[in-house]
Structure formats: C-alpha cells, structure tokens
Amino acid sequence: MSATLGAASPRSRASVSPREIPACYVDGHRVARALDPDLADRYIRYTTLGDPLADRAVEQLAAIVEPQHVHRTIARTVDHYRDPPKNTPEALRQLIESSAVVPDWFNPETAMRATRAFLRNSDMVLAGLVAGAIVEGFSTLIGKSFRIRSRIILNGVRRLKQNTLQLTEQFMPGGLEPGGDAWRLSLRIRLVHAQARMLLRQSEEWDTPTHGMPLSAAHMLLGAAAFSGRLMDHVARLGGDFSPEEQDAYVHVWRYTGIVMGIPEAIMFHDRASACSAFQIAATCEPPRDDDSVIMANSIIQSAPILLGITETKERREMAAFIYQVSRELIGNDLANSLKFPKPTLIRKVPLLFLRNRAEKAVSKVLPGLVGARSRKQFHTLLDVSDLGEAEHSYALPTTLYDENSRAW
C-alpha cells in the first residue's frame, strides 16, 4: 500500500488497464508508475470520475429549479443543514447532509495549531499560493477547464480572491465546522465545480476519451495537495517558520477541506509528506503543458498586482515582473520556461525575501510590540485581497459554458 493513501480497495491493487487511461495521460502515467505504481494507478482511475453527489445535485437543480431561484434553494438548504426544508431537491439534501458529517480523525486542537501558524505567516502563505501553488495547478490539464470557460483577466482576479478567501476562512476558529464560513464556501466551490463539469462535458473543446473527466476527482486531489503540502515547501523557501508539527497541522486542515469539497477519502493525503507525494505523482501523471496552461498561468501572474490594489500601469508591470521572477524561482526554470515566463533576472529574489522575512521575525522577538502591529497589517491585507463583495455570499451557479454569457454567479 502506498504511504500516501488509505487502505487500498481490491480494485486498486490491480494495474490500470490501458483502456482506463485517457489518451493524454499515457506517457505521464508510465513515468509516475516508476515512482509509485499504486498511487499513479489510483490517480489515473480518478481522472475519469467526477463528484457523484455534487454532480447529481446540480443536474437535479438544473432540471427542476429556475436559474434565478438556485441561490435561494441552496442557501436555505445550507442554512438549515440539520433539517433542510421539505421541498429541498433530494440530491441537494443528500449532498449537504453528507458534508455536515465531521470525520472522526479531525482534531480541532490540531486545527487551532495550524491557525496560529497560518496567521503568523500569512503574508508568506499568500505569496507562496499566488506565485507557486496556483501557477503549478494551472500548469496541468486543470488549465484547460478554466480557459474554456473564462474571461481570463477578470476571472483571474476573482479566482485569486476566492482562493485567498477560502484559505483565510478555513483557518479561522470554527470556520470549517458545519455551518461555518469556510464550510459554506467549500460547499459553494464544490457545487460550482460540479456545474462547470456538467457544462464542460457539452463543449466541443473537451474530448473525454483524450482528457478524461473535466475537473475530475483526481484534479481536486492535485489542487488540494498543491495548496497544502506543496505550498508548505514554498512558504519555507520564502522564510516561513512553520514547525514540522505545524506543517502537518496545516495539511490536517486541508485534508478536512478536501473531504468537504468532495475528494474521496480513498485517495486523500493525511500529512505533509503524503500531500507532497500526492502532488509529485499527480503532476507527473499530467500531460505536457499546452497553450491553455500558458494562458492560465500567465493570467494569474498578471492578475496578482490588481489583487493587491495596484492599478497604475507602470507599477502594475513592475510588480508583475517581480512576481514572475519569484514564481520562476519557486516552480523551477523548466516549468517557468514551458509556461513562457519572462527570462530570469540576474538577481534572485527568493533568497532576499527569505532573509527579509526571517530578519523581521528576529526583530519581532526582540521588540514584541512590533509583532502585534505586523500581525494586524497582515490580517488586514488578507481581508482586503479576499474581499469578493456580494459574490462571497452567493450560491448562484454559472448557467452557460462561456462565462461571459452566463447569469451573474
């Protein structure tokens, strides 16, 4: 059994049949099997699967609820998750009720340890997320799913805000408890993914025999592993001071978030080491970068200055150039070159950021008064960059394949 996963099912012990592998994954799967054959096979199996509970819920909503009433229908069910209204669509009821079951292994004390470490390092977590983990996520076939549907730059800013909001809310005390803000947001994202999956399967650009399932369960695992274990690697290089126990606690929270978002427990990681292994095998299985990956990864970098409130053209370009260099150093030259990032600068930025961040932490220990001021500034920055406005509280779902034609959601 792979150390990355839980107990293997009888089906998972057999090698994957060539007929089970979407065409674009064949070469990557062969390489990944040399590293971890069990995990590589199980990842590939889940590239053809979505999220049965959420998929049924959005299909039923589309069949019996008018688009203008979707928000109200979902909101009432989420608000009354213990006792949903009698007219709640059955598939939606099942989804919400199952999501309100907290796993036996979830430990609130461990989650609180992660919260303290996150708040202490929130600026570096945000930097590692934007310049590292999200870029790496979009370097996979995930990029195609988003490129087909997106207004690139506008949705790039919104996507960064949503990722930052989810990150912030899940590390707030009680955020992931059923009914909490992070729990609600994770459910919303899960439903949006299911709706997008349904729409993408209607697209002529998505070839299921070649690409598998859009926004598959495998891709949900890859994203969660990138935003947890892999992100901890980036944060450490930027000067973060998570202890090994705090890193595992951070991943512990993401493990629970992943379950709420519909990732099957059978392929879920359980600590930092297994999250990093999951990310490595998943990324290796993925097909080579194409134009969709290039478009989406660059849109994230170009959107980041806007997220930070920089709108003047010259300053925005300078900040984008800085983020490109930091991203290149975090993700590596090979990946950066394949994404057509600008050429590297002579002066490396990440070592300087490491020294600056560690120096600030050292000064804070000598001058404790600075800790409070720095923490307040970091927290206010998080609130600013994650402000989605009214969309934060909306359960409306996209109504068309192409976002520009959709009702507001």
Q: Is residue 240 part of a domain?
A: yes
User: Could you tell me which residues come within 8 angstroms of residue 290 by beta carbon, excluding any fewer than 6 positions away?
Assistant: 143, 144
* Number of domains into which the chain is organized: 1
DSSP 56-118: HHHHHHHHHS-GGGHHHHHHHHHHTTTS--TTS-HHHHHHHHHHT---TT--HHHHHHHHHHH
For residue 284, the tally of other CB atoms under 10 A from its CB is: 18
Q: Is residue 73 part of a domain?
A: no
Q: Is residue 99 part of a domain?
A: no
Q: Is residue 201 part of a domain?
A: yes
Q: Is residue 66 part of a domain?
A: no
State the residue range of the domain holding 126.
108-172+181-347+384-405
What are phi and psi for residue 107, nearest 5 degrees?
-120, 110
Mean pLDDT in the chain? Answer: 90
Convert the pLDDT of each residue in 53-91 to its tens digit.
Answer: 999 999 999 999 999 999 999 999 999 999 999 999 999
Question: CA 404 to CA 281: how far, in whole Å?
Answer: 35
Q: Is residue 395 part of a domain?
A: yes
Q: Is residue 343 part of a domain?
A: yes
pTM of this structure: 0.91
Do 231 and 330 form a contact (C-beta atoms < 8 A)?
no
Question: CA 6 to CA 393: how far, in whole Å?
Answer: 35
Convert the pLDDT of each residue in 196-238 to its tens digit.
Answer: 999 999 999 999 999 999 999 999 999 999 999 999 999 999 9
Convert the pLDDT of each residue in 303-330 to its tens digit.
Answer: 999 888 888 999 999 999 999 999 999 9
Residue 2 confidence class, pLDDT cut points 50, 70, 90: very low
Q: Is residue 24 part of a domain?
A: no
